Amino acid sequence: MRLTTIQKLMIGLIFMAVSATGYAAYHHAGEEDSVNFLAVYPDKVGTKLDSCALCHTGGIDIDTSTGKKTVQGSCQWCHNPNVYGYEGKGEITKTLNSYGAAYRAKGSNQEAVRLIANEDSDQDGYTNAAEIAALRFPGDKSDDPAKVPAPYRVFTRDQIECLPQHTQFQLLNATKSDDSYAEFSGVAMEDLLKAAKMLPEATSIQVYAPDGFSNDFSLYPDPKLYHVIGDYPEAFYHYAAQADMADNPTTGWCNYSELDDNLKDGDPIENEDGLKLLLAMYRDGVKLVAGVLGKDNKLNGEGPYRVVPPQKVPGPPDQRSTAANQNVIWPYKADGDHNAGFSPRSATIVKVLPLPEGTTDIDLFEAGWKYIDESKIVVYGAIDPIPTILTKMDALLATLKSSSSKSFKNPIYQKILHIEVSLAKQLAKYGKHKAALKLLSNSVIEHADGCSTAEGQPDKDDWVTDCNLQKKVYWDLHELIVLFGIIV
C-alpha cells in the first residue's frame, strides 16, 4: 500500500488481536492504508489480505554482474534499492499491483476502498469485493475464487521429534545485535520437506513467523539465498577476548558458548553430519523459549522453532554496524555473511513454491500465535495433496451424512452420494487417483452443480435441491478435483 510516512523507512509492527490467542499482521510504522482497508473490511484482520501483498507486487531482480534472475516477493521488491528502497528514494508506483494502483488513483482513503469494491482490478472476472470476500487477492489475476487452498500438512512437536534429528555448532552473525556461537539441534529443513512429501517441481520455500517476519530460501545453492538441500561450507572458529561479551560486557559483541571451551581461534569447527539449514528446537541443549509479544510489540524469544542457516561465506563475528568504535579486531563488514538476519524466530509457516496450478495460499489465520502455544508448524504448497484430500473428504462425508434428507430430491440420493464419495476416498487411499478423480468429476459433481451456474437454481440432474447445501457440496467437490489434478 502507499506508505505515508516513509521518507526514511523504518520497519515497525502493528499487532491486531482478533482472537483469544491473537494474530499479528505485518505493517510499516505510520502506515494509514491498512487502517483504511480494515475499516471497510474489519473481518479481514489477520487474514492473508492483511499484508503488504494486498496492494504491492513482487518482481524479478537481475544481478547486473552475473545476469542471474531472482524472484522477489512484495516486501523484498519494494525494499529493493533499484525499485523503491528502504530510504524511499525510488518510485512507489513501480511496486503497486492493479488493486493498489486503483486505490491510489481514487484517493488512497477509506472512500477509495469503497469506490473500487465493484471494479475488477486484476481483470480475472471477479469483482474486488467478491475476491476479498473469498480471501483472494484482488490485484493478482492468478488468485481468484475458483482457486482452492494449496495442500498442507500440520506437524506437531511429537511428529517433528520422530524425524531424523540433527545437531550443529555454528556462528549466528548479526548486523546490529549480538553475534553468538551456539549448538543448535532439531530437524534439517530438507528432512521436514521430505516428511511433507515435497513435489519434484518445488523450487524454493518461504518461512514465516506470526509477527510477519519472513525469509526466502532456495532449494539448491544460490548466490543470493540460503539453501535447503545439501551442506554448507565448513567453518572455522574465531575467538578474540576483545569481542567476548563475558569479558567485556559493555564493549564486546559476541556471546561465546560454554560448549566451545575446547576450541581455539582458527580451529576448524567439526560437525559430524555437516552444516545444514536447520529447523532448530534446542540451543545448547535447552528448548528454545517460545516467542511472545513484548509491551514494545517486539518478539521476545525464538521458539518453539527457529530456522537457522549456517554462513554461506564463513567469517568471524564482526562488530555491530551501529557501534561507534570500529577500530577493533573484526570491524563491521558490510558485505559479510550476517546469517542471523535470515534466521526467522518462532517460525510457524513453511510455504513451498511454486503453488500448484489451480491453488492459492491457505488461510493463514490459524497459523499464528496459537501455533506457538501448541508447538505446531504448517507446511503447504507444492507437497503431496493426498493427506489434504483425505481430510477434506472426511469433512464432505460428514456434511452429507448430517444434512437433512429434505435437502435432497430423494433420501436415497443422499445415501448414494455418500457411498460414491466414500468409494472415491478408498480409491485415493490405495493410490487409484485417476479412478477417484473420474468418479468425482464425471459422476458426483454433476448432481450438485445447478445452483453454482448463472441461473442459480437446481437443474434436472441435481440430487441436492437445497441451494445453500448444494453450493457447499459443489465447491467442496471442486476443491477435491483441483487437488487430485496436482498428481493425476
Summarize pLDDT for 194-215 with one digit per residue, the tens.
999 999 999 999 998 877 678 9
Last residue of a domain, one of 97, 116, 146: 146
Same domain, 166 and 286: yes
Same domain, 362 and 402: no
**7 in a structural domain:** no
Cell (9 digits) for 465: 435441491
Q: Pairing relation of β-strands 59-62 and 278-283?
A: unpaired
Query: Which residue would you say has higher pLDDT here, 374 or 3?
Result: 374
Spatial distance between the Cα atoms of 444 and 180, rounded to a whole number of angstroms: 59
Same domain, 93 and 226: no
Count structural domains, the chain: 3
In the predicted model, what is the mean pLDDT of the chain? 87
Same domain, 248 and 375: yes
**132 in a structural domain:** yes
Q: Which residue has the cell 537481475?
A: 62
Last residue of a domain, one of 112, 146, 180: 146
pLDDT of residue 147: 85
Last residue of a domain, one of 87, 119, 146: 146
Spatial distance between the Cα atoms of 6 and 420, rounded to a whole number of angstroms: 57
261-301, pLDDT tens digit by residue? 789 999 999 999 999 999 999 999 999 999 987 766 578 89
Contact 343, 214 (CB under 8 A): no
Nearest Cα neighbor of 19 from 50, 40, 55, 46 is 46
Spatial distance between the Cα atoms of 38 and 34, rounded to a whole number of angstroms: 6
The widest CA-to-CA distance across the chain, in whole angstroms, is 85
Q: Which residue has the cell 521429534?
A: 161
Q: Which residue has the cell 521518507?
A: 7
> pLDDT band at residue 1, thresholds of 50, 70 and 90?
very low
Give the residue numbers spanning the domain of 108. Answer: 14-146
> pLDDT band at residue 87, thresholds of 50, 70 and 90?
low
Spatial distance between the Cα atoms of 388 and 29, rounded to a whole number of angstroms: 38
Half-sphere exposure of 232 (CA within 13 A, CB side): 30
Q: Which residue has the cell 572455522?
A: 236
Same domain, 221 and 111: no
Same domain, 375 and 410: no
Same domain, 267 and 326: yes
DSSP letter string, 266-285: TPBPP-TT-B--EEEEEETT
pLDDT of residue 253: 97
